[in-house]
Structure 1
Amino acid sequence: MQFKHSHITCNFPSSYLLQELLGVGAVSEGSLLWEREVAMLRQQLQNLQESHRRMMGEELSGLSIKELQNLENQMETSLRSIRMRKEQMFYDEIQDLNRKGNLIHQENVELYKKIDLLKRENQEMNKKVYGTKDTNGTQSNGFLANRLSIGDDPSEPVHLQLCQPQQDNDETGSGAANLGIKLMNIQVHQL
């Protein structure tokens, strides 16, 4: 015996086929139990398929008003459950995004702290390189030539000018290459 619905095909053995499989000539008590089980499963499958069709809005013409009301109540209950699950998923996703946002914010705060520390270290290095002003307001620095004047802000651009080379009277033979270029009157121009 074969039972079909759309894409579902179920084969159920008849009592004769069941007897043949068991090798029993007469109907035994075991085979009757199997037949009842098969009939019960067949009925459950039919009920589930019918319920599924009704849930899909198919084959509603044979239902009474009370059955339609019950179906509507079932659908509304199912819809509430679906919406609650969807809302819970949205809530969980929002919580996860908030947590990630907080982590990113903390990383940004740490990066700003590092940037601030690097700026302070850079300022300290600039102070060491460019020196500090003495009481006369002149720049004091061991690294730069005394003809170089630097403004208050070490980030200001320095404009250099070339002048004609002059003969150097230094005959000490220091071994340094003479390129013939000297920097003269270097000053910082504020923009």
Structure 2
Amino acid sequence: MQQLRQESANMAKKIEIIKILQRKLLGQDLDSCSPEELHDIGNQLEISLSNIRARKTQLFKEQIEQLQAKERLLLMENARLTKQFEAQPLQQSTQSNQVVSYLSSSSKSSDIVETDLYIGLPQMRCL
């Protein structure tokens, strides 16, 4: 039981030391630090910053590779669709001609279009 109490006390001390170190790394409670201690903290921060930048660069490279792969797939799909479109110009132009002929024939049958603007309730008009 005594050994467990001693381990618990040691762990509590370690936790307190870690909390103090954390505060110092965050720039808090630096008044009690010696110049050597401040130098060590600065070196630790520079190493941490270097590691962070390296990880950030790695993530950006991976993201660029993923986007380039996606771009290649989209370019291939675009080329496939372009070939498909170029292979069917007669069918499409036939459909376009049918639409144009339908529109022109329907406009001939109804050349008279009423374009008057009325304000108010619609009323029955006799023609």
Matched, 1:65 2:11: no
Secondary structure at the aligned position of 2:88 is classed as helix
* 1:1-191 map, 5 Å: 31-119=1-89, 122=90
Q: TM-score, normalised by structure 2?
A: 0.70
Partner of 1:172: none
- In the TM superposition, structure 1's runs of 4+ consecutive aligned residues that sit over 4 Å from their partners are none
Instruction: Output the CA distance in 2 between the equivalents of 1:86 and 1:78.
Output: 12
Instruction: Output the CA distance in 1 between the equivalents of 2:72 and 2:17.
Output: 52
- What residue identity is the alignment partner of 1:107? E
Deviation at 1:32, TM superposition (A): 1.1
Identify, as 1 or 2, the structure richer in strand: 1
CA RMSD of aligned residues (A): 2.0
Instruction: Output the CA distance in 2 between the equivalents of 1:101 and 1:59.
Output: 51
Task: Note the alpha carbon deviations across 1:81-123, whole angstroms, 9 max, x for none.
Answer: 001111111111111000000100000000011011112xx17
Indicate the structure (1 or 2) with the bigger Cα radius of gyration.
Answer: 1
Instruction: Output the CA distance in 1 between the equivalents of 2:70 and 2:4.
Output: 58
Q: How many residues align?
A: 96
Task: Note the alpha carbon deviations across 1:116-169, whole angstroms, 9 max, x for none.
Answer: 1112xx17x97xxxxxxxxxxxxxxxxxxxxxxxxxxx9xx99xxxxxxxxxxx
Please list every run of 5 or more consecutive structure 2 residues that lacks an aligned counterpart in the other structure: 102-127
